[in-house]
Amino acid sequence: MNYTVYFHPDAESEMNEAAEFLDQEYPGLGTVFLTAVERAVDQIRSAPEAAQLIRGYVRRKLIVKFPYSVVYSVRDTQIRILAVAHQKRRPYYWRSRR
């Protein structure tokens, strides 16, 4: 099935802010992070039901080599990225996002 991926505006902001922070700590690491997020999203697109269910119909895909997860939901042919969340901070803060 061909899925369309949509980022919630806050999820996109979180991803970019994390990349900027990582670049400030270690130049170039933000780009590596964005590539890892892109790889995770590609894996979600090819097998959206494979990631762990964490709440209702919401799933979490871990981002390789970073303490972040892609939090998403699947509806029909749409994958909605709800958050790019740090794994150690504020669990479930994204609950109100649709």
Q: What is the pLDDT of residues 22-81, one digit of tens each?
A: 999 999 999 999 999 999 999 999 999 999 999 889 999 999 999 999 999 998 899 999
**What pLDDT score does 96 carry?**
72
Q: Distance between CA atoms of 90 and 92, rounded to whole angstroms?
A: 6
Q: Distance between CA atoms of 25 and 31, rounded to whole angstroms?
A: 12
Q: Is the pLDDT of residue 2 over 80?
A: yes
Return the CATH number of 4-86, one of 3.40.50.2300, 3.40.50.10190, 3.30.2310.20, 3.40.50.300.
3.30.2310.20
Lowest model confidence (mean pLDDT) among 13-22, 56-65, 89-98: 89-98
Whether pTM exceeds 0.85: yes
Q: How big is the CA angle at 89 (ends 84 and 91), to the nearest 5 degrees?
A: 80
